[in-house]
Amino acid sequence: MRPAKLLELEAVLAISRRGSFRSAARDLGLSPTAIGNAVAGLEDELGVRLFDRTTRRVSLTAAGHDFVRAIAPALSDIHAATEAARSQRGSPTGTLRINCSIAGGHQILVPFVTEFLRRYPGVKVDVVTEGRLVDIVQAGFDAGVRAASAVPPGMTIVPLHQGLRHRVVASPDYFKTHPRPVHPYELSVHQCIRIRWPSGAPYEWEFEKDGEAMQVDVPWSLSLDNHGLIARAALAGLGLAYVAEAEIADHVASGRLIAVLGDWMPPSPGFCLYYPERRPIVGFASALAQVIAELRESGD
């Protein structure tokens, strides 16, 4: 049996990531016919089908899932080694692919990616935002950005900030008909805008004061999974919201939102960049990590 060609393996990963031969071909700079022939040739050689194909969708078979899981780390290491070699040139070129939540995208873009692109003008940064937590190695990403508590084991972690603080806020109109809570237990008589994890599970609001910590499963009238939408709902007077301070600082300063329970709000670890720690060479992911470390140290 001949060894699989790198292009065939790249094609399998791209199709599994995009769920489409056409989109995968576009990512790899090939024609759909060329990528289809590459996969068909590999399937013939392996003697198994890697993809189920219909007119509407393409999905991995059970054998395909096992195959992608096995080859993804090796291809990821090849990409990292290639980018690291390119970075030794006077003007490095290549692409750094980052997977993150929407909130994580806001955290990484400014100032970190902005400064990274300034230093490495020949490098492209491809940021993909999605709610679900993906295996960055299997999905073909160089790095991820998530809340520190969501990072899987076996990863090098680089905090983006010293720590984030959340606020419980509501609009002045809401407080015209509801008392301002002074203790988390008082939330039981309020309308709240609940945060939902990408998995669908609700997020319990976290509080801490004088060594007393608690998590509150708040009563809710609206459930959302996007912090920007949660802030807009609070501005519309739909209830109390638990959001990152950065999302609503301007609204609080202008009086459009009123913050309560300030002495109960603990700092959280916030978001971090992460990438596989087992790699001997990590390419542009380590370069971005260096930019983050330098900006954090300088206080920018």
Backbone angles phi, psi at 211, to 5 degrees: 80, -5
How sure is the predictor about 147, in pLDDT bands with cuts at 50, 70 and 90? confident
Q: What confidence tens digit (pLDDT) does each residue in 33-83 have?
A: 888 888 888 888 888 999 988 777 888 898 888 888 888 888 877 776 776
* pLDDT at 127 (0 to 100): 92
Return the residue matching tokens 């700092």.
Answer: 267
* pLDDT at 170 (0 to 100): 96
Q: Which residues contact 97 (CB under 8 A, 6 or more apart)?
A: 126, 128, 140, 141, 142, 143
What dihedral angle (degrees, nearest 10) is formed by the CA atoms of 61, 78, 110, 236?
Answer: 10
CA–CA gap between residue 41 and residue 272 (Å, rounded) = 41
* pLDDT at 173 (0 to 100): 96
What SS3 class is residue 259? strand
What's the CATH number for 73-160+269-300? 3.40.190.10
CB 225 within 8 A of CB 243: no
CATH architecture of 164-268: 3-Layer(aba) Sandwich (3.40)
Q: Do domains 73-160+269-300 and 164-268 have the same CATH topology?
A: yes
Most confident segment among 129-133, 169-173, 278-282: 169-173
Asked if pLDDT for residue 1 goes beyond 60, the answer is no
Strands across the sheet with 123-129, in order? 123-129, 94-100, 143-147, 271-276, 155-159
Q: What confidence tens digit (pLDDT) does each residue in 77-133 have?
A: 777 677 666 666 556 778 899 998 877 887 888 889 999 999 999 899 999 888 778
The CATH label, of 3.40.30.10, 1.10.10.10, 3.40.50.10300, 3.40.50.2300, for the domain at 1-60 is 1.10.10.10
* pLDDT at 297 (0 to 100): 79
Q: Find, among 260, 267, 286, 97, the residue nearest to 171 by Cα.
A: 260
CB 133 within 8 A of CB 68: no
Q: Which residues contact 172 (CB under 8 A, 6 or more apart)?
A: 255, 256, 258
Count Cα neighbours of 252 within 13 Å in the Cβ-side half-sphere.
18
CA–CA gap between residue 300 and residue 250 (Å, rounded) = 19
What SS3 class is residue 75? helix
Sketch the domain layout of the chain as residue ranges: 1-60, 73-160+269-300, 164-268
What SS3 class is residue 243? strand
